[in-house]
Amino acid sequence: MDLKALHKISYGLYIITSKKGQQINGQIANTVFQISSDPATVAVSINKQNLTNEFIRESKVFGVSILAQEAPLSLIGQFGFKSGREVDKFKDINYKTGTSGVPCITEHVLACLEAEVIHQVDAGTHHIFIGRITNAEVLLEGIPMTYAYYHQIKRGSVPKTAPAYVPKQIERKANMNNYVCNVCGYVYDPAQGDPENGIAPNTPFDKLPDDWTCPVCGVGKDEFSPES
């Protein structure tokens, strides 16, 4: 069975937010879809282990911030590869509080939705939350980030708790100069460099500055291994 077939399914990339009392949290998700337009209803899939899942079950509300295609990897890493149990994900992040009390990211986001949970489905490792939209706002005109763009162009990865996570199959390549982050799976390709952080194309890994860090999760060069 070739699980790469699942990569052919189209996904977006979103920040799902919620609250629990005075606490707020959020996470990256790629499984968000509209169910109906009257009433306007959407569904999200959230891993049971994630703190955001706990917050949604407690408050019965969630927000969806739709990422723009140019959103930096650092923003995705902040909400995708860090735990709200250990860090304040909203530190240094521009956001506003919506009508339901959930935070809406206001930078690198095309639109923000707020929803009230009307049904919850147990899907094994995940809960599917079906929500009636209570508020919606367009913040920016542009192209939404897709999972394919994030994976293929930005060379990002997904955590193991994501619905679309598929274990990587080892492939032999003629070019052995790529390096992979041992923490998040980001691939540094010397041919592309890291323009978002001032690293020009055709910069070999061993020529990166000593203080260069993974654009997604922030670990240092010592956490990278040659791709094989």
Q: What pTM was estimated for this model as a whole? A: 0.80
What domains can you pick out in the chain, each with its CATH number?
A: 10-153 (2.30.110.10), 179-226 (2.20.28.10)
Q: What average pLDDT values come out for the chain (228 residues) when binned by 10 residues?
A: 82 96 95 95 97 98 97 92 91 95 97 98 97 97 91 62 48 61 90 91 93 92 90
pLDDT tens-digit series, residues 148-181 = 888 777 665 555 544 544 455 444 343 448 999 9
pLDDT tens-digit series, residues 136-151 = 999 999 999 998 888 7
Three-state helix/strand/coil letters over the chain: CCHHHHHHCCCECEEEEEEECCEEEEEEECCEEEEEECCEEEEEEEECCCHHHHHHHHHCEEEEEEEECCCCHHHHHHHHCCCCCCCCCCCCCCEEECCCCCEEECCCEEEEEEEEEEEEEEECCEEEEEEEEEEEEECCCCCECEHHHHHHCCCCCCCCCCCCCCCCCCCCCCCCCCEEECCCCCEECCCCCEHHHCECCCCCHHHCCCCCECCCCCCEHHHEEECC
